[in-house]
Amino acid sequence: MMSKFSEIINQEKPVLVDFFATWCGPCKTLAPILKQVKDNLGDNVSIIKIDVDKNQNLASKYQVRGVPTMILFKNGKQVWRQSGVLQKNEIINIIKTSV
C-alpha cells in the first residue's frame, strides 16, 4: 500500500487524500462533498480515500490524529492539510490555488 500510495501522490496533478473512518459521522458528511468536488474539477484532481483503521501505517506516517483529515499533495509534496469538514467551494478553491 505504501509504495502504491507514493506512486499516486507523485503525480503532476493535485491529489486530495481523504483520511476517514467508517464510524466517523463527519466523514459521512464529507463524502458527498468530495464527490461534488470531483464532478466539478474532473480530471484536474485525483481524490482518494484512505480508511485509517485499515491503513494505520499511512495514517501515522502523515500524523493523522483526527478524522476526517484531508491532505493535498502535488508532485509528492504535501501542499495543504486540514481536519474537519469543509464546503465544496472552499475545497475547490484550495485545489485550484495549489495547481
- Candidates 8, 11, 24, 80; catalytic one: 24
Give the long-range contacts of residues 53-56, CB within 8 A, separation 24 or more.
53/21, 53/22, 55/1
| Closest C-alpha to 70, from 10, 99, 27, 7 | 27
Non-local (6+) Cβ contacts of 5 within 8 A are: 50, 58
- Here the cell at position 90 is 472552499
11 noted as active-site residue: no
21 noted as active-site residue: no
- Candidates 27, 37, 47, 64; catalytic one: 27
Active-site positions read 24, 27
